[in-house]
Structure 1
């Protein structure tokens, strides 16, 4: 490998871009980790590679061309077609410039990063984390994710993509807060629990608030229905939690006011008389709660009651003005007013305990003192068993690395360090798993195969009547790799 071309030089599949860039990859890598590309190889007979050709670093057995993406109009992605040896090098370059990087992300950049991840190499992501809010960085990551889904590589790269997204920390959570609907789908594709929880907390909190969550957008994303079902269930749980908190606010008795009969004593008038200021304070607080509920400031309010709950938690009610109005009806001495004011503050602190769980912040997003608070509650919890890919293990499973579906690349002659038919795991070591339908040749069978390759060199010129004309049209694979 070189700095200019980091991919292995012994790859036996050449993927060619219409703009001239190429990638030399291993067929076993594509069959195992990009099965939709690997499946193309079985439909085209590979070029026979002899020992002499291998010694001269001629290892290409298949040629794959990139063609315009057919699923939908997006210049970040390509379809692939495996071309016979006779047609290699006959790329149609008409309009190639139109494919060379439209907008902020080109398909060459997307697939170069994807192939790098398949080989455990770091991708070249746009570094705009400090200057541009990581917009292009995130676009690169999501483009790789989508491209991987189209070729069946998600199980192989989702962990890498998630790790690169999490590296930008708060900038990622800002993006999730702005578009939680789309990020919930991304999270399911990545099977990322932390991103899924973050997006569902935003969706569940704002689902019943007008203008915050676009429910129609879930119809246009792959896992939108599943994500919306989880969010709606969590939204109902949140509403039930609000109702329970409101009920407890109206029914709560502070422990200091509760007096029970014991074998030694029955509470008398003097005991309750000493609590008179606390009972007055409790009555004033309950009157505020009931007035707020009757004014529809609770969970039925257009803000979901969030301002009411925050007011109670801040103890920002029954202020001096409200106390003065109370004393216009119930006059007290200066000492009595002070005792009542102290009792009100104590009772308000008791009510904070009830409301605290509702105002718990389970987001990864961290706001500053100057940040505008969110318009919804963020106390939602998503359990491990509620994650879609845990509840439904087959969801988005795709191809599993190591499970080969066909024997297109089972020969493996481009990898001299392994026996034919032996699968190499992604870390680079040999695996005991064999490609279905192929037997590994060892001992005398291997010698016979090698002798056949040597004799094949002598008779190669007589293999096809039009070999001489074909050689005139062939382009040496070294010319392809100049741009790779």
Structure 2
């Protein structure tokens, strides 16, 4: 990276404007001409394009495709050695993940002219809606020269509109094998929408997992994974898993199984909880002296009855698949356990139990107090699930799934994967100040 003055001192908003790319920077020494449309033609540097895009280097701009310009042509100031034209992608289908238009090399003769007749119409935009793929190429080419990508104004544009633009740019970047150059600007724009973004991720985590994986965004991927794990048992998530990259699906399943195991263990601890004052020391002494006789245990009868009531409730939740097997992985039960008090097993609830086991008014009060003590004690086994690891404000926007999963920096599934055509691309392209006119 060149030190000193900024590479560009301009406000570049080409994605918002329907007109020709007048604002796209002009360069000196450009040897590649790219024709996207009659009104969108670019003169760029093969060195920059090859450095940024593996597809450019290996397939679109190989050295053998460079035109061998004669001296007469060079004296005229013609230095273009490569030409790329945009054509419709034969593999494109409506709604597909691949880009709609791809680049095709056009061989040039010694005068810098196309060998074949590839006439390009004027195609003047004149205020008409521009094909979003054209704008996406505009953005990616600019990103090669570290020109900021404009996804719109998050304060006025809907998140859906911003996402549509981001997906168009992503498709072009994936095709060129350079997603690294678009990750930061797309990520920054989306994060600027604040809670609007996080609410969207919580509602559609599978789609966001796919998007975050494709642009290699750790912050978006982590957020989506937290919500996807919490919703793993839901029908929607189960129907979407097969659409994810195998590495993402594998990680999601692993994280979900870890959380499910933790929830299962939590309920096992609740069901096997005994207050310490009910326990006895093993002894070979006298039962009347060492508190191991029937009368000693009888003195604790209200505690034992309270345990029966609590375990009846917890066992019912397990039997009804309302814990780790539930669509919410047991969140609804965990919530009432944490709330305690009258959230469950209230005095009114106990009256139903007393229909089978009548007691005096005083005994009912004692039993209610004992149950309350047990409810307070077992909260310790559920507290861990109340932690919110996501960036969603769950107080302002409550969700019906757990958000306590974590993701370590070594667990992101793209560390062993590369972009299209076998390269990770580059996050920053080395450019020279002398290129600018």
Q: 1:292 to 1:78 in 2, by over 3 A?
A: closer
For the 8 Å contact 1:110–1:143, the answer to whether it is kept is yes
Give the direction of change, closer, same or farther, for the CA distance of 1:28–1:155 in structure 2 (3 Å limit). same
- Give SS of 1:92's match: coil
The answer to whether the aligner puts 1:399 opposite 2:426 as a matched pair is no
Match of 2:336 among 291, 295, 311: 311
Paired position in structure 2 for 1:80: 103
CA RMSD of aligned residues (A): 4.0
Q: Is the 8 A contact 2:30 2:45 kept in 1?
A: yes
Q: In structure 2, which of residues 155, 161, 186 is the aligned counterpart of residue 161 of structure 1? A: 186
Contact 1:306 1:377 in 2 (8 A): yes
* 1:227 correspondence with 2:248: yes
How has the CA–CA distance of structure 1 residues 49 and 182 changed in structure 2, closer, same or farther, with 3 Å as cutoff?
Answer: farther
Instruction: Give SS of 1:15's match.
Output: strand
SS in 1 for 2:24: coil
Q: Indicate the residue corresponding to 1:123 in structure 2.
A: 149
In 1, are the aligned partners of 2:174 and 2:419 still within 8 Å (CA)?
Answer: no
1:234, CA displacement in angstroms?
2.6
The alpha carbon displacement at 1:295 in A equals 4.1
**2:121: which partner in 1?**
93
For the residue of structure 1 that corresponds to 2:382, the secondary structure is: helix
Distance between the aligned counterparts of 1:170 and 1:57, measured in 2? 54
Q: CA deviation at 1:146?
A: 1.6
Instruction: For residue 372 of structure 1, report the CA deviation from its aligned partner.
Output: 5.4
Residues 230-269 of structure 1 show CA distances to partners (whole Å, capped at 9, x for unaligned) of: 222333333322322221111012445556579xx95578
Quote the offset at 1:65 in angstroms. 1.9
Could you state the TM-score of these two structures normalised by the residue count of structure 1? Answer: 0.69
How far 1:359 moved relative to its partner?
Answer: 4.0
Q: Secondary structure at the match of 1:14?
A: strand
How far residue 93 of structure 1 moved from its aligned partner, in angstroms, is 2.5
What residue number does 2:49 align with? 30
The alpha-carbon distance between structure 1 residues 49 and 331, as it changes in their structure 2 partners (threshold 3 A), is farther
Between the aligned partners of 2:122 and 2:93, the Cα distance in structure 1 is 18
User: Against the structure 1 CA distance between its residues 13 and 232, is the aligned structure 2 distance closer, same or farther, given a 3 Å change threshold?
Assistant: same
SS of the residue corresponding to residue 374 of structure 2 reads helix
- 2:148 is equivalent to residue 148 of structure 1: no
Tell me: CA distance 1:389–1:17, structure 2 relative to 1, closer, same or farther (3 Å). Answer: closer
CA 1:267–1:368: 2 relative to 1, 3 Å: same
What is the aligned partner in structure 2 of residue 439 from structure 1? Answer: none
How far has the Cα of 1:26 moved from its partner?
Answer: 1.3
Aligned twin of 1:196: 221
Change in CA separation of 1:194 and 1:108 when aligned onto 2, cut-off 3 Å: same
Q: Is the 8 A contact 1:49 1:59 kept in 2?
A: no
TM-score normalised according to structure 2 size: 0.75
Query: Which residue pairs with 2:29 in the alignment?
Result: 10
- Spell out the pairing of 1:45-64 with structure 2 (5 A cutoff): 45-46=66-67, 48=69, 59-64=79-84
Q: Is 2:370 aligned against 1:343?
A: yes
Q: What's the CA shift for 1:398?
A: 3.2
Q: Call closer, same or farther: CA 1:296–1:176 in 2, change over 3 Å.
A: closer
In 2 relative to 1, CA 359–57 (structure 1 residues): closer, same or farther, beyond 3 Å? Answer: farther
Distance of 2:25 and 2:354 partners within structure 1: 81
**Cα pair 2:201 2:223 within 8 Å, conserved:** yes
Q: Judging changes above 3 Å, is the alpha-carbon distance between structure 1 residues 92 and 259 closer, same or farther for their aligned structure 2 residues?
A: same
Q: Distance in 1 between matches of 2:100 and 2:35?
A: 14
- 1:319, distance to aligned residue in structure 2 (A): 0.7
1:124-148 deviation digits (Å, cap 9, x = unpaired): 2222x23443212122222212211
Deviation at 1:396, TM superposition (A): 6.4
Q: How far apart in 2 are the matches of 1:401 and 1:234?
A: 29
Higher-Rg member (1/2): 1
- Which among 399, 404, 409 is matched to residue 373 of structure 1? 399
Q: CA deviation at 1:209?
A: 2.3
Which residue number corresponds to residue 271 of structure 2? 250
Separation in 2, partners of 1:303, 1:180:
14
Distance across 2 between alignment mates of 1:157 and 1:76: 15
Counterpart for residue 20 of structure 1: 39
How far apart, in 1, do the equivalents of 2:421 and 2:91 lie? 21
- Mapped contact 1:159–1:190 kept (Cα < 8 A): no
Equivalent residue for 1:114, pick from 137, 140, 143: 140
2:14 corresponds in structure 1 to none
User: How far apart are the structure 2 equivalents of 1:397 and 1:353?
Assistant: 51
- For structure 1, the 5+ residue unaligned runs are 403-424, 431-480
Query: What is the rounded CA distance, in whole Å, between the counterparts of 2:64 and 2:90 in structure 1?
Result: 20
CA deviations on 1:304-356 (whole Å, 9 max, x unpaired) are 4432232222221111212334556342454x544443332222121111122
